[in-house]
Structure 1
Amino acid sequence: MPKSGLLAGSVTGTVARVMLAIVLLSLLTTGATMFAVNASRYDAEVVNLAGSLRMQSYRLAFQLAEQGEANAQDIAQFSQTLATPAMTSLLGLTTPRELTQSYQAILDDWQRLSALLTDQPPDYFIRQVPEFVDRIDHFVYELQAFSKQKLQMMAIIAGLGLGLILLLALFAIQYSRRFIVPPLHNLLIASQQVQSRNFAVRVQEDSQNELGTLARAFNQMAEELGQSYQALEHTVEEKTHRLQEANNALKTLYDCAQLLSMNRIQAKHFSQVLGRLMQLEGFAAIRLVVEEGQGIRTEFQAGKPDENQSWHHHALKQEAQHLGTLWWQHTLPCPDPAMIISVGHLLSRALHAHQIQVQNEQLLLMEERATIARELHDSLAQALSYLKIQLTLLKRQLATSPESANGVIDDIDQGLSQAYRQLRELLNTFRLSVKPGKLGDALNDMLNGLRNQTNASILLHNQLPSIQLTAQQQIHLLHLTREAVINAIKHARAQTITVECVQQENHVLVNIADDGQGFNPDHSKTAHYGLTIMNERAESLGGQLTITSAPGEGCQIQLKFALQNTGNNHE
C-alpha cells in the first residue's frame, strides 16, 4: 500500500526532519523563555520602586504638614526614582500601552506636583497626594498584572514546546517501530536463514526508501549466492566424480599390474584383467586378441558386445613386436584414453614377459635335462656299463668254469649297490627346491639333509641377498654346493666342512672348505669326484671354479661369478 506525506520519503530524511523539528522547537522554546525572562528582569524592581514612590509621596506630604516645606533631597530622590532604568524600561515596545500610559501619567503628575511644592501653599499638595498615590497604586497593580501575564505566557510557551517535542519523540518511536524495526528484523531472520544455506529466502521490498533498497539488494545477493552455491556444489560433485573415477582407474591399474606381475602368468589372469576393466564406467564390452603368428590367435572377452556399435582398438606392441590388439565398445561417459593406453602397456609387457618366461623355462628345462643326462652318464650309465661287462664275464665263467664265478658275482653285487647309491644321490639332487626369494632357507634345508649322513660338522655362513640372484643362478649355486659338500663327506674324511657365501662388490663368492685328507687336483681320479659337473655349472653361471687342495691339507673349492645388473648394488 503506497504511503504519502512524511512517510513516503526516505528513512534518513524522515528521521532527520523529526530531529530537526525537535531541535527547532527546543530552540524556539528556549528563545521565548529567555526573551520572557529578559523582559521580566525589571519587574520586581519596578514594583519595589513603585511602592517606594508611594512612601516618598507620603513623606513629602508629612514634611509639608509639619515643616511647611518639602526637603529638596527627597524631591530629587523622587525624580531619580521615576527616572531609573527599571522605570524607563516601561517605555519599551514590549510594554503594554495601558501600562506605558499609566507610567507617563505619573511622570506628568509629578512634573506638575513638583512645581507646586515650591510655588503653591502646602495644603494644595497635601490635597493632591491621595489622588497621586491612588494613581501609583493603580500603576503597581498594572505592573503586577503585566508581570503575571508574562509568567503565564512563558509557562504556556514552555508547555507547548515540551508537548510538541514529546509528540515528535513519540512519532519517531512509532515510526521506527512500524517502518524501521520490522524490515531490519526481517533482514536479520533472512540473514540467519542464508547462514543456514537457505538461499531461497526473500524479504518484502515494497517500500521505496533505504530499507526497500537494502531489501532488494539482499534479495539479489541471496539469489546470486544461491546460484553460486549451486554452481559450486555442481563443481564439487563433478570434481568428486572425477576423483572417484581417477581413483577407480588407479585402483584398476594397480589390480591389473598385480595380476600381470605374477611369477607365472596364465590365461585366467588376462580374463581377470578384462573383468576388472568392465567395472569401470564407460565400458560396454572388451576383447583381447593375442596373436602368436601363423594365424594362431587367442581371444578373451568380457561384457556383452552390441552388434550395432562400432569397436575401438589399441595395438599391443613391445620392442617393435606386434603381440595383439585390445578392442572395446564404450558408452557415455567415454573411458579415459590415457587409462586405456596404460592398460595396453601393461598387457604388452605382460605378453612379452610371458613369452620370455616360457622361453627361459624351456631353456632351463633343456639345460637341466642335459645336466641330468651328463650326471646319469658319468655315474649310473658307467656303473650299468660296468655291470654289463661283468655280466658277460659271468656268462663266460659259468660256461667254462662255474666254480670261479663267485668273484664276478661279488663284483656285480658291489656294482649294483654302488649304482643304487648313485641313483639315490641323483634323486636327492633332482628333488632340491628353492623357496621363493629364500636362498638361505634352501641352503639350510639341503645341508640339514647332509648332516644326517656324516659325523663331520657342517657350518654355513650365508650373506647373499636373494633378490640379487636369478632363479637359474640360485639352482646352479645350490647344486654345485651340494656336490662339493657330498664329495667332502664321501672322500675327505673331514671333521669340519664350512660353506661361505658372500658378495664382493658386483661378484658372488662361494667357498666350500674342509679340513680332511685332501688330494692332488692333477690326479686322474678327479673326474670321479664330480668336479667335471661342477665346472660345467660354473660355466653356466659365467663364472670360474677354483680347486685348491693337497694331500693332508684339506680342500677348498671356490666359485666366483658376476651378478646381473639389477640396478641396485648391495652393500
Structure 2
Amino acid sequence: MSIVIRLSLALLLLILPSVLSLLLSGWITGLSAGGGEAINMAGSLRKQSYLIAATALSPADPIPGGQPNLSEVVVEFERRLYHPSIQNALPDAAQDPIRVQFNALESRWRNEIRPSLERDDSLYASILLPSTHQYVSEIDLFVDALEKAHETRLKSLARLQWISLLIVFGVFAWTLIWVYRQVTYPLSKMAEVANQVEAGHYAARIDTQASGEIGTLKTALNRMLNELETSYSQLELRVAEKTAALEQNQTALQLRYQVKALLADNEPDQAIFDAVLKVLGESIPFRNAAICLTDINPKQQHIPVKSAFKLANNQQQGIRLGCLEQDCAACIEHTPPALDSKELVFPLLEGGITYGIMPITLQDGIKLAPWQMQVLEDVSHNLGTALAGSHRKQSLHRLALFEERSVIARELHDSLAQALSYLKIQVVRLQNQIGEQPEQAQATLQELREGLNAAYRQLRELLTTFRLQINQGGLNAALTATVKEFAERTGLEIALDNHLLGVELAAEEEIHVLQIVREALANVHHHAHARSAQIHLAWIGNEIVVQINDDGVGIGKAPERAQHYGLSIMRDRARSLGGIISIQANQPSGTQIILQFIPSTPFSNQESAQRAK
C-alpha cells in the first residue's frame, strides 16, 4: 500500500475520534443544556409548594394586594411544573425514574393537592402542611433524579472525551512508530549507505525492510548500487590491466633501451653479450641463456648452417640447455620460439642473414608472456644488427687493407718485377755467351739463375698476397678457394676441416692465416713431394689453432737455406698475430705445422689475450 494512502488513513484515524468526540460532546451537551434549568425549575417547586401551603393557611389580607392570591400561586406552581425545561428533561421511556417521579408529582398535584385547594375544607387545611412536607420530599426525589441524570450525562461526556483522547494518542503513537519503521529508519539507512558509497565502499547495500514508495526506492537504489559496483569493479579491472600493460611496456622499453645502450656504446664482444644476458635475466625468468655465433653465407641462405660456437652465457660454470651442452651445434635446427615451449632459440638476423642464435631454457612451470617474447625477438634482432655492423666494419677495414695492398702490388709489379725479369733475361744471354767457359763459371751462373728464379717466385707470391682478397664469405670461402686452386694446380689431395664457422677475425688476422696456409701448401708442393695434405682450424679455449699436415718426405735439419724465405715469413706472420708457430716432423712421414694465436677481435676474451701476450 502506498505511503501516502497510509499516512492519509493515519490522519483520518487521528481526526475521526476527535470529530466523533466533538459530535457526541455536542449531543450530550445539547442534552445537558436544559438540565440545569430543569433542576433549578424543579427545585423551585419546593418553594412554591411551601408558598401554596402558607398562602392557603394564612388569614385573609386586610389590605388588598398586600400578599399573593392563592390562585396566582397555584398558577405559578403549575407554570413551573409544566415548564418546557422540565418537559425536555423528561425521558421518553415510561419506566425511567425521572419519568416515574414526575408522573407521581404531577398525578398527586392534579388529583389530590389542587382539588383540595379549590374546596374550603378545614379538615384538609389541618393536614395541608404535613402533606406539603411529604410532597416536597417527592419533589426532592424528582430533583435528585434530574441531578443524577445530569451528572450521568456529564460523566459520559467526560468518559467519551477520555476515550477519544486515548484513541487519538494511540493512533498518533502508532503513526509515529509506523513512520519511523517505514519511512524514517529506511531513509536513515539509505543516508548511511549513501555516506558509505561516498567514502568508496561500493559493496554497501540497503538491507532494511521497506514497502510502498520507500520499498521501490530501496530496490532502485540497491539495483543502482549493484550496477555501480559492477561498473567500478570493471573500471578497476581495466585500470589494473592498463597499469599492468603500462608496467610491462615500461619494463620492455627499459630492457630495449638498456640493450640498445650496451650495443650502441660498445663493440659487440663477449663482455657486452654477457651484460645483455644479465639485463634480460633481471626481467625474464629464464634459467639458462647463451649467445652463439654461426657461419655467414649470404649467397646460400637456403642451405642450413651446420655449426656454431658459444660466445656468451649467463652462468659461471658453463651452460646446460636442452639443445646446448658444450657448443651450439645442437641448437641450430631447433624449432621456432613458442609461448608454451620450455626451450627457445631466437635467430640473430639482420637483412635476411643469420649471424647467430640465442638459445634460452625457461624455469620449470614458467611460460613467457607475449610482451616478453616480443622483447626477446627485438633483442635478438638488435644483436643481429650489432653483429652485422661489426661485420660491416671488418669488411670496410678489409677493403681498405686490400686497396692499400693493391697499390703496393702495382708499384712492385711496375718496378721490382720488371727489373727482375730483365735480370733473368740478361742471365740467360750471359749463360749462352759463356757456354764454353769453365765449369765454375757455369755453376756460378746457375746459382745466380736459381736465386733470381727464387726471388722472382717470391715476388710473384708477394704480388699474389697483396692482390689476394677475402670477400663477404670470409676466411672459410677464401680457404676453400685456396684449396681448390692448389689442388687443381699441383694435383695434391687437400682436405679442409674448418671449425671456425661464425668466428669473426680481424682483416689482418684473416690475411695472415690465409697466407700461412698458402705458404705451407706452396712448401708442400715445392719441397715435400707429398701426395696429400690436411688443413684443420679450430677454436680451443681462447686460442685459434691452425694445423697443416702432409705425407711428404718431411722437413730437413736445416730447413731455412739461403735464399729460401718461406718458413721465416710464416714465423714473422705468426709474430704479427701475437702467436707462435711450430714446424716439426710428422709421424710416420711428412711435416706438421701448427699456428696458435689469440684473436684480437671483439669476440675474443681480451683478458686472456693480454695474459697470453
TM-score range, shorter chain: 0.3 to 0.5
Point out which structure has higher relative CO (alpha carbons under 8 A, 6+ apart). 2
